[in-house]
Amino acid sequence: MHTYIHTCVYIYISCLVSIIHISLKNIGNMKNIVFLVIIALVSSSASSKVTYNVTSFGAKGDGNTDSTKAFLSAWSAACNSTKSAVIYVPTGTFLLATAITFAGERCQSSSITIRIYGTLVAPFNYAAIANSGDWIRFHRVNHVTISGGTLDARGGSLWSCKTSGKSCPSGATFYPSNVSIDTYIPLTF
């Protein structure tokens, strides 16, 4: 994450230096240079995004610790932001041990990006999700982008149960998948 922030700051400073250099070369007027710098700063702050790292909310990338509450807390913080928000999931394996719903009815953020560099995993025991139907659900969300990462529902044991002819919960195995999206505006992946 720190590398990402440093890269963004470096790019921003490089662009600002280029603007000043071009302005000095072509314009020669100090008022115009100050005006260009102010425009660059205002546009940068107006379009800036706030980033919420799930580990700051208690998520552990060890594959064993339930990170469901941390993900919901990061989602809540992003939704309550008046700026565009990024939910950052670093490398690691993050257990979402119960069915989780990301609700968007009250989101104030103009857009939310969930940037996943790690893996989200369901519990090994399919009974933890049982008949919920969805492992991960996005309900009434707008302007959400999910990028990168891996979603591993660990469905092998449930499918083994179903193919054995035993009485098994329905689990999160019906169409279209174990991730449900209910939205008014199309999402991007």
What pTM, to 2 d.p., does this model score?
A: 0.68
**Model confidence band, residue 171 (pLDDT cutoffs 50, 70, 90):** low
Per-residue pLDDT of 117-167, as tens digits, reads 999 999 988 878 877 778 898 888 889 999 999 999 888 888 888 889 888
Mean pLDDT (the chain) is: 77
Q: Are 19 and 71 in contact (CB under 8 A)?
A: no
- Taking residues 51-59, report their average pLDDT: 98
Please name the amino acid found at residue 22.
I
Helices 30-46 & 2-26 angle (0-180, nearest 10):
150
Question: CA-CA distance, 181 to 107, in Å (whole number)?
Answer: 16
Per-residue pLDDT of 62-90, as tens digits, reads 999 999 999 999 999 999 999 999 999 99
Give every CB contact of residue 37 below 8 A, 6+ residues apart in sequence: 16, 19, 20
Q: What is the DSSP code string of 170-188?
A: --S-SSS-SEEEEESS--B
Considering only CA atoms, which of 107, 124, 138, 139 is closest in space to residue 171? 124
**C-alpha neighbours within 13 Å on the C-beta side of residue 43:** 9
9-13, 24-28, 146-150, 180-184: which has the highest mean pLDDT? 146-150
Question: CA-CA distance, 75 to 102, in Å (whole number)?
Answer: 7
